[in-house]
Amino acid sequence: MAIDERAVAALDDRLLGPEHKGLPPAAWGRTVREFLAGAPRLAEFETPLLSIDESALSANLVVMADWAAAAGVRLAPHGKTTMAPRLWARQLAAGSWGITFATIWQVQVARSFGVQRVVLANSLVDPVGLRWVAEESARHPGFEFVCWVDSVDTVAVMDEHLRAVPGDTRVRVIVELGGPHGRTGARTREQARAVAAAVERADRLTLAGVGGYEGALAHDRTSVGLDAVHHYLDELSQLHRELDYPGGAIVTAGGSAYPDLVLAHLAGLADEQGAHGVPTTVVLRSGAYLIHDDGFYAGISPLAAPRADRPLRSAMHGWARTVSRPEPELALLDAGKRDLPYDEGLPVPQRLDIAAHVSALNDQHAFLRLPGARPADLPVGTVVRLGLSHPCTAFDKWRLIPVIDDADAANPRVVDLLHTFF
Three-state SS annotation for the chain: CCCCHHHHHHHHHCECCCCCCCCCHHHCCCEHHHHHCCCCEHHHCCCCEEEEEHHHHHHHHHHHHHHHHHHCCEECCEHHHCCCHHHHHHHHHCCCCCEEECCHHHHHHHHHCCCCEEEEEEECCCHHHHHHHHHHHHHCCCCEEEEEECCHHHHHHHHHHHHCCCCCCCEEEEEEECCCCCCCCECCHHHHHHHHHHHHHCCCEEEEEEECCHHHHCCCCCHHHHHHHHHHHHHHHHHHHHCCCCCCEEEEECCCCCHHHHHHHHHHHCCCCCCCCCCEEEEECCCHHHCCCCCHHHHHCCCECCCCCCCECCCEEEEEEEEEEEECCEEEECCCCCCCCCCCCCCEEECCCCCCEEEEECCCCEEEECCCCCCCCCCCCCEEEEECCCCHHHHCCCCEEEEECCCCCCCCEEEEEEECCC
Pairing state of beta strands 330-333 and 366-369? antiparallel
The answer for residues whose C-beta is within 8 angstroms of residue 245's C-beta and 6 or more apart is: 207, 208, 209, 274, 276, 278
Start-to-end CA distance of the chain, whole Å, equals 25
* CA contacts within 13 A on the Cβ side of 211: 30
pLDDT of residue 383: 98
- The residues that bridge with 145 in the sheet, in sequence order, are 118
CA dihedral 199, 202, 204, 207 (to 10 degrees): 20
Q: 403 with 417: CB under 8 angstroms?
A: yes
Q: What is the mean pLDDT of residues 154-173?
A: 97
Q: What is the mean pLDDT of residues 341-368?
A: 97
Q: 67 with 87: CB under 8 angstroms?
A: no
Q: 118 with 112: CB under 8 angstroms?
A: no
pLDDT exceeds cutoff 80 at 183: yes
Pairing state of beta strands 366-369 and 400-404? unpaired
pLDDT of residue 247: 83
Report how far residue 293's alpha carbon sits from residue 347's, in angstroms, rounded to the nearest whole number.
10
pLDDT exceeds cutoff 60 at 282: yes
Q: 72 with 95: CB under 8 angstroms?
A: no
Q: Counting Cβ atoms within 10 Å, is residue 41 exposed (0-12), middle (13-18) or buried (19+)?
A: middle
Map out the domains of the chain with their CATH numbers: 5-53+312-419 (2.40.37.20), 72-286 (3.20.20.10)
The answer for residues whose C-beta is within 8 angstroms of residue 235's C-beta and 6 or more apart is: 177, 179, 189
- What pTM was estimated for this model as a whole? 0.96
pLDDT exceeds cutoff 60 at 274: no
pLDDT of residue 166: 96
pLDDT of residue 248: 87
pLDDT, one tens digit per residue, over 221-245 is: 999 999 999 999 999 999 999 999 9
* CA contacts within 13 A on the Cβ side of 46: 13
pLDDT exceeds cutoff 90 at 154: yes
pLDDT exceeds cutoff 80 at 277: no
How far from chain centre, in Å, is Cα 103?
13
Report how far residue 39's alpha carbon sits from residue 404's, in angstroms, rounded to the nearest whole number.
11
- The residues that bridge with 175 in the sheet, in sequence order, are 149, 210
Pairing state of beta strands 49-53 and 316-327? antiparallel
pLDDT, one tens digit per residue, over 42-90 is: 999 999 999 999 999 999 999 999 999 999 999 999 999 999 999 999 9
pLDDT, one tens digit per residue, over 360-389 is: 999 999 999 999 999 899 999 999 999 999
Q: What is the mean pLDDT of residues 170-179?
A: 97
pLDDT, one tens digit per residue, over 302-333 is: 999 999 999 999 999 999 999 999 999 999 99
